[in-house]
Every structure is written in C-alpha cells, then in structure tokens.
Amino acid sequence: MQKNKACGHEEKRDRRRQENRRRQQQEILDAALKLFAERGYHHVSINDIAREAAYAVGTIYKFFPGKEELYRAIIHDLGEKFTRAATVGLEGEGDAKTIIADYLAATSRVFQENSTAIRLYFAETQGASFNFRAGLDRETRAMHEEIQTALARVFARGIENGEFIPLDPGDLARALDSMALSFHFAWLDDPVAHPISEGLETLKRIFFFGISRATGKPQSHPEQDLV
C-alpha cells in the first residue's frame, strides 16, 4: 500500500514538472514571437527574449540551443496548427462541398488566431536569408503538401460523386489554396475593408458556382457533359 502511494505521488510530481516545463517553454516562445514581430528576427537577442519572458538566460538555453531554434519552433508550431485544423476539417462528414467549406473555416480560424506568427514568417523569409532557411522551408513545405494531398482526395471524391466537373484534383486543391491565401492576405492588410468572413463566402461562390453568365443561346460545356 505504501509503495502504491509513493508511486502515485511520484507520478503527480512528474506531471507537475512536465506541465511546468511546457508552461515555461510556451512563455519563452510567446516572448520571442512578440519581439521578433516588433523588431525583426535579426534585431532581437537571447538576452532580450529572457528579459521579456522574465526568465534567466540559462533557462532559455535549457529549452532552446539558440535563437534560430526559437524561430524554428515558432514556425513549426504554426505549421502543425494548420495541419491539425486541416485534418479535422477534411475528415468531416457530408458531401465534398460541405467538407471543403469546413476545411476553409477551420484553417481560417488558425490564420486569424496566429496572424502575428504568419506576418513574421512571410516578412522574414522574404526579406532575409537564414542559414537554416532551406531546412525550415522543407519542413513547412512537407506539412503543406500533406494538407494539399488530403484536400485533393476530397476533390477526387466530389468528382466521383458528380459534385464537380472532372478536372485534376491536385489542380483544384492548389487553386483553392491560392485563392484562400489571397483573401487572407487582403484581410491581414486591411481587416475592415476586407472582412475574412465575406472573403470566404465570395471564395465559395466563385469556386463552387463560377462567375461567368451565359448570354444568348446556352451552350454545352464539354467537361460538364462528361459528368
């Protein structure tokens, strides 16, 4: 009995230690993101991050070997959030249009909730050349390709079920992704002029129903005839 109690106490202590480590790590990442976004990656030091997070410099190094690893962790976490949200959205039930709408809503929430990290990523990767950028790009590209593959599968199912005209599912996934990104960037640039909710509704209308208006005698669409 005493042995079981001792094991139980030790497990509780381990959980508390792990929770404390996770809390400290997140506070350090939050401080780094804030400073990187405000000043730019190259104008922030580990000492600056330690002061912002209210931790000793040694505590920072206990979790992260250096500033590069901090930045990498921020962007990797962002990619994982998008992957999780996309996976949940694309594994939903219903027809392909409903699933794609759920996917757009889920990934849009991640975009809006992490706009600071997204601004940082694009500002730094476009405006600077990190010595670890190639590796970071490979990681983010792999996660993005995972999402694109899952999205293409939904389009393929929609084509098979007769919801969409028979186009290449990969092309459809890339087209939707590019359009969604442009609407999100418009929102980032001016949230008042370009509300993201309106942007997504416009995107769905354009993508699912098209923008052309037939005039005169209706003409047969050769690809629609194949459905």
Instruction: For 43-90, write each residue's pLDDT tens digit.
Output: 999 999 999 999 999 999 999 999 999 999 999 999 999 999 999 999
pLDDT in tens, 132-141: 455 567 788 8
Which CATH architecture describes the domain 67-210?
Answer: Orthogonal Bundle (1.10)
Task: Report the C-alpha gap between 206 and 210 in whole angstroms.
Answer: 5
pLDDT at residue number 165: 93
pTM, two decimals, is 0.79
Where residue 7 falls among pLDDT bands split at 50, 70, 90?
low
- Residue type present at position 108: S
Give me the mean pLDDT over the 89-93 stretch. 86
Where residue 147 falls among pLDDT bands split at 50, 70, 90?
very high
Decide if 7-64 and 67-210 have a common fold.
Answer: no
Give yes or no for residue 226 having a pLDDT over 50. Answer: no
Give Rg (Cα) of the chain. 23
pLDDT in tens, 165-210: 999 999 999 999 999 999 999 999 999 999 999 999 999 999 999 8
- Taking residue 44's Cβ as centre, other Cβ atoms within 10 Å add up to 21
Which CATH architecture describes the domain 7-64?
Answer: Orthogonal Bundle (1.10)
Task: Report the C-alpha gap between 143 and 151 in whole angstroms.
Answer: 13
Could you tell me if 59 and 50 are in contact, meaning their C-beta atoms sit under 8 angstroms apart?
Answer: yes
Q: Tokens 């005209």 map to which residue?
A: 165
Give me the mean pLDDT over the 18-38 stretch. 94
Tokens of 132: 């670890």
Q: Where are the domains of the chain?
A: 7-64, 67-210
Percentage, residues of the chain above pLDDT 70 = 85
50 versus 125: the higher-pLDDT residue is 50
What is the four-CA torsion angle of 28, 29, 32, 36, rounded to 10 degrees? 180
Q: What is the average pLDDT score of the chain?
A: 86
Give yes or no for residue 217 having a pLDDT over 70. Answer: no
Tokens of 135: 């590796």
Task: Report the C-alpha gap between 79 and 82 in whole angstroms.
Answer: 5
Give yes or no for residue 223 having a pLDDT over 70. Answer: no
pLDDT in tens, 113-122: 999 999 998 8
Give me the mean pLDDT over the 147-172 stretch. 95
